Amino acid sequence: MPAKFDLNDSSVVVIIGSGAGGATVANELSKKGISVVVLEAGRRMEIGEFQNDEIAMFGAFSWLDPRTATGSWYVAKTSPDLPSWTCKLVGGTTVHWGGVALRFQEHEFKTRTRYGAIAGANLADWPLDLKEMEPYYDRAESRLGVTGTHGIPRLPESNHCKVLFAGAKKVGYSKYWTANLAINSVPRDGRAGCQQAGFCVQGCTFGAKWSALYTEIPQAEATGKCEVRPESQVLRIEHDAAGKVTGVVYVDRAGATQRQKARIVCVAGNSIESPRLLLNSSSSLFPNGLANSSGQVGRNYMRHTTALVFADFGKPVHMYRGTSNGGIVMDEAGLDTKRGFAGGYNLETLPQGLPSFSTNLAPGAWGRERASWIDSYANLAGVWIIGEDLPRAGNRVTLHPDRKDKFGVPIPNVHVDDHENDLAMQKHGMERADAIYKSIGATRTIHRLPFPSTHNMGTNRMSANPRDGVVNAHGQSHDVKNLFVSDGSQFVSSGAENPTLTIVALALRQSEYIAGQMKSGAV
Amino acid sequence: MRRMLLRELVTKFSRRGFLRAGVATTAAIAVGGPNLLSHAEETGLSAAESRTLLKLTRDLFPHDRLDDSFYAKAIAPLQDEASKDAATRKLLADGVAQLDAATKESAGKPYAEVADEKIRVAAIHKIEATAFFSKVYNGAMTPLYNQPDLWAKFGYEGPSSAKGGYLHRGLADIDWLPR
């Protein structure tokens, strides 16, 4: 049963955020007998509350707290008050994710070495490599039940997949299949098999998709060592005169300000909230923000290089039937600078229901041409380009100079200027997607530039040298030994892969390290 | 500047028991009918203004397969807001007047009475940069397309979990792909 800890219990590990990173660390530590308090800003929902309703679910669990976006990126123009599309509930963005679970490639851990110095980019190597990560990837794939690994069969091909694969074959690609998905193709680990309902992004109504909400979190609670406190928004992290963190200040469900003491604090609020919290925890000892002697907190913000391409076939596809990110083409994922850019990209099916498609198509456009795409809705296929986005020092999360949230904390601003590498990759991807679809008879295609990103990475990056990043190879702050970062903000590069599997693998690795450090008394 | 549509709606309506576009009001039902007067008339938009708003919404999102009832529901939230908020009422009424002025100049008639779509479209281009345009564009789009009664007309089947998903129901029924 769930534990209950006293606010003054300074033996607990406090984990801020209950998504892929936070929930995995919570589960691992509590299974090792370590006392854990998870503070989650959002509420706790049950699977039964999920509906096949894009608009209602967007409202029910998106992170909609005020934010701003600046810079040359498209999102700042079309969505200046919602730079990212992540979730605010127990389980975090694992409720919303599409389930694509891919390992990073070897070169993606060593971008500075492999790509060289790229002007305008702040490339660095990860202080770890694929070989070190492989055992953790292996465990993560088994834990999440990833299809195409551990003998787990892949999911069947939908119409939408078949269209993509037929085109991929026609243009000479060979690496296409239903993706490695953390969605059960057969019942496994107490979770049902996928019924191909679609609406993965609105919360899986069958629980077939791995989400921390109904795996890691209840498993952690079942140990009797973990307490989850939903609707608890952390405002700042506190420390003592020696520079060790001592606890966190948060506002609870009733609106009361509380102070939870802690032996260790793990920050796992995703790549906008995590740096925001560190920056807001500045003090006389840490004037530039907690754990920020490097000045890198908030910097190197990465989403993915993306665009969506829809094609009209004049004949039925019904793209909304089946697993959302069901199909993948991986031929362009590798490193081949002859294409005119560093890094690579994947192509993944990305259907939208009619309400989402029709309201997100061509921002600002109106009239007959735009409407004709909605008229063709049943005949459309759509593919999403997801490619490596280079880190830039100026692409960063900062505290807004004027605006504050309802708790008086400055809201985050996300600034992004597109790097020419990203734009070159995006253009290449759109052209390849056009070619794929046109090779099998698409009469027209339309390009949708990026949405608010669900993949957010890099704002508290790892580094071997404390001068270059915020945390070490275990996500431990260089400056504050009992402070950890447990989410995707640790990423040094973004890769061409959906980030969740890597977040979980890092969390497994970090959990072993934390337990070891606690046992030895190092923290 | 266009803002994230969903977000705008989400912040406007309560988070739970959230907006289905069908939350039309008496004002919406009144539009297009012979008796256009409703409670909205007293404090909100006039019948003529509502009629123009409906026509504008159809011109922004023109689907010949949809009858006016869908567009009436699309503008219902705007009508509601106008009946409760004087600034919104003024924004919409002034915008309608601008549109009417544009078509009176080009075709000698108020906007809603102009039969030629090209002339109406030209009038919209004249007001495209206004706050009025953004308000209608952003305010009517989601309520238009989020109507379950509308989906089938575009071949969208809507919620599927209750029907068991598509695993045994047309997941891979495509028959026209090259072999």
Determine, yes or no, domain membership for A1: no
Neighbouring CB atoms inside 10 A of B118's CB total: 9
pLDDT of residue A263: 98
Average pLDDT, integer, range A512-522:
98
Chain B residues in contact with A62 (beta carbon < 8 A): 7, 10
Q: How many domains does chain A fold into?
A: 1
For the stretch A285-321, pLDDT in tens is 999 999 999 999 999 999 999 999 999 999 999 999 9
Nearest to A354 among B3, B13, B154 (CB): B154
Q: Across the interface, do A55 and B18 touch by the CB < 8 Å criterion?
A: yes
pLDDT of residue B140: 98
For the stretch A54-97, pLDDT in tens is 999 999 999 999 999 999 999 999 999 999 999 999 999 999 99
Nearest to A179 by CA among A343, A310, A326: A326
How much is the mean pLDDT over chain B?
Answer: 84
Q: B33 falls in which pLDDT band (50, 70, 90)?
A: very low
Whether B12 has a pLDDT exceeding 70, the answer reads no
Q: How many domains does chain B fold into?
A: 1
Q: Across the interface, do B172 and A157 touch by the CB < 8 Å criterion?
A: yes
The domain of B122 spans 5-153
> How many residue contacts between A and B have a Cβ separation below 8 Å?
165
Q: Across the interface, do B9 and A363 touch by the CB < 8 Å criterion?
A: no
Q: Give Cα A326 distance to the centre of its chain.
A: 18
The domain of A229 spans 13-520
Cα(A309)–Cα(A380) distance, rounded to whole angstroms? Answer: 10
Average pLDDT, integer, range A99-115:
98
pLDDT of residue B14: 34
For the stretch B102-131, pLDDT in tens is 999 999 999 999 999 999 999 999 999 999
Cα(A65)–Cα(B11) distance, rounded to whole angstroms? Answer: 10
- Close Cβ partners of B128 (under 8 Å, ≥ 6 residues apart): none
Instruction: Tell me, yes or no, if B138 comes closer than 8 A to chain A by beta carbon.
Output: no
Q: Across the interface, do A197 and B11 touch by the CB < 8 Å criterion?
A: no
Whether B9 has a pLDDT exceeding 50, the answer reads no
pLDDT of residue B101: 98
For the stretch A196-212, pLDDT in tens is 999 999 999 999 999 99
Q: Which of A287-296, B43-52, B146-155 has the lowest mean pLDDT?
A: B43-52
Place of tokens 């509502």: B50
Whether B20 has a pLDDT exceeding 90, the answer reads no
Chain B residues in contact with A374 (beta carbon < 8 A): 61, 63, 145, 154
* CATH assignment at residue A136: 3.50.50.60
Neighbouring CB atoms inside 10 A of A208's CB total: 28
Chain B residues in contact with A358 (beta carbon < 8 A): 141, 144-145
Instruction: Tell me, yes or no, if B174 comes closer than 8 A to chain A by beta carbon.
Output: yes
pLDDT of residue B17: 32
Nearest to A159 among B124, B142, B174 (CB): B174
For the stretch A338-354, pLDDT in tens is 999 999 999 999 999 99
Nearest to A82 among B7, B61, B121 (CB): B7
Q: B179 falls in which pLDDT band (50, 70, 90)?
A: confident
pLDDT of residue A66: 97
Whether B26 has a pLDDT exceeding 60, the answer reads no
* Mutation to test the A interface, candidates B156, B163, B175, most A Cβ within 10 Å: B156
**Least Cα separation, residue B76 to chain A (angstroms):** 17
**Beta-bridge partners for A470:** none
pLDDT of residue B43: 67
For the stretch A470-510, pLDDT in tens is 999 999 999 999 999 999 999 999 999 999 999 999 999 99
Q: Across the interface, do B9 and A82 touch by the CB < 8 Å criterion?
A: no
Q: B36 falls in which pLDDT band (50, 70, 90)?
A: very low
Nearest to B174 among A78, A317, A370 (CB): A317
CA angle in degrees (0–180, nearest 5) for B158-B162-B166? 65
Cα(B137)–Cα(A205) distance, rounded to whole angstroms? Answer: 33
Determine, yes or no, domain membership for B94: yes
Determine, yes or no, domain membership for B75: yes
Q: B42 falls in which pLDDT band (50, 70, 90)?
A: low
Q: B6 falls in which pLDDT band (50, 70, 90)?
A: very low
Judge whether B177 and A317 are in contact, CB under 8 Å.
no
Judge whether A16 and A277 are in contact, CB under 8 Å.
yes
Query: Which stretches of A145-267 are DSSP H helices?
Result: 159-170, 216-222
> A226-229 and A483-485: which strand pairing?
unpaired
Determine, yes or no, domain membership for B170: no
Chain A residues in contact with B124 (beta carbon < 8 A): 366
Chain B residues in contact with A355 (beta carbon < 8 A): 142, 145-146
Q: B1 falls in which pLDDT band (50, 70, 90)?
A: very low
Q: Across the interface, do B63 and A78 touch by the CB < 8 Å criterion?
A: no
Nearest to A106 by CA among A499, A512, A496, A390: A496
Instruction: Tell me, yes or no, if B5 comes closer than 8 A to chain A by beta carbon.
Output: yes
Q: Across the interface, do A358 and B166 touch by the CB < 8 Å criterion?
A: no
Nearest to B141 among A159, A359, A377 (CB): A359
Average pLDDT, integer, range B46-58:
97
Chain B residues in contact with A186 (beta carbon < 8 A): none
Determine, yes or no, domain membership for B171: no
Chain B residues in contact with A56 (beta carbon < 8 A): 18-20
* Mutation to test the B interface, candidates A88, A323, A359, A448, most B Cβ within 10 Å: A359
For the stretch A401-445, pLDDT in tens is 999 999 999 999 999 999 999 999 999 999 999 999 999 999 999
CA distances for A326 relative to A111, A115, A287, angstroms: 29, 31, 47
Whether B37 has a pLDDT exceeding 50, the answer reads no
Whether A450 has a pLDDT exceeding 80, the answer reads yes
Determine, yes or no, domain membership for B42: yes
- Close Cβ partners of B76 (under 8 Å, ≥ 6 residues apart): B23, B24, B25, B27, B28, B143
**Least Cα separation, residue B98 to chain A (angstroms):** 19
Instruction: Tell me, yes or no, if B22 comes closer than 8 A to chain A by beta carbon.
Output: no
Place of tokens 């998870």: A38
Instruction: Tell me, yes or no, if B12 comes closer than 8 A to chain A by beta carbon.
Output: no
Nearest to B161 among A199, A359, A367 (CB): A199
Determine, yes or no, domain membership for A8: no
Q: Indicate if the alpha-carbon torsion angle A476, A66, A385, A192 is positive or negative.
A: positive
Determine, yes or no, domain membership for B58: yes
For the stretch A30-58, pLDDT in tens is 999 999 999 999 999 999 999 999 999 99
**Least Cα separation, residue B171 to chain A (angstroms):** 5
- Close Cβ partners of B120 (under 8 Å, ≥ 6 residues apart): B55, B59, B103, B111, B114
